[in-house]
Amino acid sequence: MTHDPLDGPIPFLPAGRRPPVDRLERHGPEALGEQDLLAAVLGDRSPRGRLARRLVDRFGSVPAVVRAHPAELRVAGLSAVAASRLGACAELGRRVARAWPAEPWTIRTPTDVAEPLVDAMGSLEREELRVLLLDTKNVVAAERTVYRGNLAGSSVRVGEVFHEAVRSCAAAIIVAHNHPSGDPAPSGEDLRITGELAEAGRVLDIELLDHLIIGRGRWISLRALGALAQPSRTIRAIEPAPRSAT
């Protein structure tokens, strides 16, 4: 089987059959659909983005193409350069999604934490555990990624989770990790780790305000589920929230 090359001379075509990358230059990204944007990222100069359409047919959707492993993309017909370009673009989008907000990121409810993190973490293929460092006014001072990969209970060390919080004299932390399956329901290990972190926070006088589990477009607050087991006197001003948001 042969595949369309990604690079080469641009053929002369009538306006209605110009490649998506040409329409991007003429009309801007807002005028293109998801599949045409994919074609533009790939540098697909075939009429009407044949390569992008073939990828969408193979994987089922544009998000599925973006999440595909580079080896799968190569089998589907992409060059190594195009597969790397797509991966770089996807990572750039994730980083922009979690870019530091222009205004202070003040936490009043778990929703204030979850909304930006669902965008940044909801589609990750591997598990990540992130720690938000908060000051005494519940303003997020920093965000740190502590773990990437399989977050088995044995791999999560309390000391590493609190390391930056201790160094920066944070008043509190919020922990968040994602479930690549898309289902944010907590496992037994999630609950056990949460209890250990809450207890360590009490010893260190750095309160664990919440542990959020991020799914694909959904999230769960373990504090709302009662998993932190904190006496009411230790909970600083952060309002309760529903079990999950969809």
Q: How confident is the model over 227-243, as a mean pLDDT?
A: 47
73-89 per-position pLDDT tens digit: 888 888 888 888 888 88
**The predicted structure's pLDDT at residue 237:** 37
Query: Residue 17 above 70 pLDDT?
Result: no
Query: Residue 238 above 60 pLDDT?
Result: no
Contacting residues for 43 by C-beta, under 8 A, at least 6 apart: 6, 7, 21, 82, 85
Query: Residue 209 above 90 pLDDT?
Result: yes
- Rounded Cα distance between 89 and 171, Å, is 36
Q: Is 235 exposed, middle or buried (0-12, 13-18, 19+ CB in 10 A)?
A: middle
62 within 8 A of 75, measured Cβ to Cβ: no
**The predicted structure's pLDDT at residue 9:** 40
- The CATH number for 99-245, chosen from 2.160.10.10, 2.30.30.110, 3.40.140.10, 3.40.605.10, is 3.40.140.10
128-181 per-position pLDDT tens digit: 999 999 999 999 999 998 988 776 655 788 999 999 999 999 999 999 999 999
Q: What is the dihedral of CA 64, 68, 73, 75, to 10 degrees?
A: -100
**The predicted structure's pLDDT at residue 149:** 79
**The predicted structure's pLDDT at residue 176:** 96
Contacting residues for 106 by C-beta, under 8 A, at least 6 apart: 112, 137, 138, 139, 140
With bands split at pLDDT 50, 70 and 90, how would you rate the model's confidence at 202?
very high
167-200 per-position pLDDT tens digit: 999 999 999 999 999 999 999 999 999 999 999 9
Contacting residues for 235 by C-beta, under 8 A, at least 6 apart: 207, 209
* Mean of the per-residue pLDDT values of the chain: 80
172 within 8 A of 235, measured Cβ to Cβ: no
Query: Residue 4 above 60 pLDDT?
Result: no
Query: Residue 22 above 80 pLDDT?
Result: no
With bands split at pLDDT 50, 70 and 90, how would you rate the model's confidence at 97?
low
**The predicted structure's pLDDT at residue 236:** 39
**The predicted structure's pLDDT at residue 154:** 55
User: Model's pTM, two decimal places?
Assistant: 0.57
- 206 token code pair: 């750095």
**The predicted structure's pLDDT at residue 95:** 74
197 within 8 A of 211, measured Cβ to Cβ: yes
**The predicted structure's pLDDT at residue 6:** 40
Question: Residue 129: in which H helix or E strand, if any?
Answer: strand 128-134
Domains of the chain, by residue range, sit at 15-96, 99-245
